[in-house]
Amino acid sequence: MRNSGMAQHLRQMRRNWDRRALENARYYVATGQRQWSDDEFYQAGEAELRDHVFNDLGIFAREKIPKA
């Protein structure tokens, strides 16, 4: 894809994401359900971090995580 084609593609992607954010941002961030209460949404995010990020953080950081 040439630079002008890439730029056009990125503009289209931005318009699509902006439209989705106005429509129902939480659904497009976490598609588990259409409607989220604040508590449900933030609890789902915490679970995602715990289950999919924190468990593998050592791999990503090559075991160089600073100790608190």
- In sequence order, the 6+-apart residues with CB closer than 8 A to the CB of 64 are none
Q: Quote the mean pLDDT of the chain.
A: 85
* pLDDT reported for residue 61: 73
Q: What is the mean pLDDT of residues 2-23?
A: 92
Which of 45, 27, 33 shows the shortest CA–CA distance to 54? 45
CB 47, CB 41: distance < 8 Å: no
Q: How confident is the model at residue 67 (pLDDT cuts 50, 70, 90)?
A: low
Phi, psi of 32 (to 5 degrees): -65, -25
pLDDT at 32: 78
The tokens describing 32, both together, are 């588990």
Q: What is the pLDDT of residue 3?
A: 80
The confidence band for 65, taking pLDDT boundaries of 50, 70 and 90, is: low
